[in-house]
């Protein structure tokens, strides 16, 4: 299968099959320790990290530095707990959008145009905690 998410999420995603009805580029985060509960952090430069509740491994979920069409502001980056994540830790869904294919351009899975991050609550509902248009 193809993995339509940026390189930096390689080895941290499980195909979120049950959510695929609306978007096929939606992934459930999964740590290399098999943990699936994370605490989210966001930075003053629009980046998002997920810290595994089991082993404290930090996974980059969104970082403008990685996307060809995006421009990231220079300077030191400081992270703080994401306040919109109401339940901590929780399972996390990351969804990526891409622009329409262009005939003369080779597809680049880092060339995302949009990212949405949802937290899954204990009652099974999901809340949108991050929503950013890349370019």
- The minimum distance between CB 57 and Zn ion, in angstroms, equals 5
- The minimum distance between CB 58 and Zn ion, in angstroms, equals 10
In this structure, what DSSP letter does residue 43 have?
E
Residue 35 binds to Zn ion (criterion: CB under 5 A): yes
Residue 86 binds to Zn ion (criterion: CB under 5 A): no
DSSP characters for 60-109? EEE-GGG-TT--PPPS---EEE-TT--SSSBEEEEEEEEPPP-TTS---T
Position among 28, 40, 52, 61 found at the interface with Zn ion (CB under 5 A): 52
Interface positions with Zn ion (CB under 5 A): 31, 33, 35, 52, 54-55, 57
């Amino acid at each position: 299968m193809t993995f339509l998410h940026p390189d930096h999420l390689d080895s941290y995603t499980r195909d979120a099959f049950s959510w695929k009805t609306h978007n096929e580029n939606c992934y459930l985060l999964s740590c290399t320790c098999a943990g699936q509960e994370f605490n989210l952090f966001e930075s003053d430069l629009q980046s998002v990290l997920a810290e595994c509740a089991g082993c404290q491994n930090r996974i980059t979920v969104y970082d403008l530095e990685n996307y060809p069409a995006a421009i990231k502001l220079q300077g030191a980056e400081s992270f703080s707990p994401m306040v919109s994540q109401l339940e901590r830790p929780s399972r996390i869904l990351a969804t990526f959008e891409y622009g329409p294919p262009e005939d003369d351009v080779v597809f680049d899975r880092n060339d995302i145009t949009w990212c949405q991050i949802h937290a899954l609550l204990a009652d099974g509902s999901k809340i949108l905690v991050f929503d950013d248009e890349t370019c």
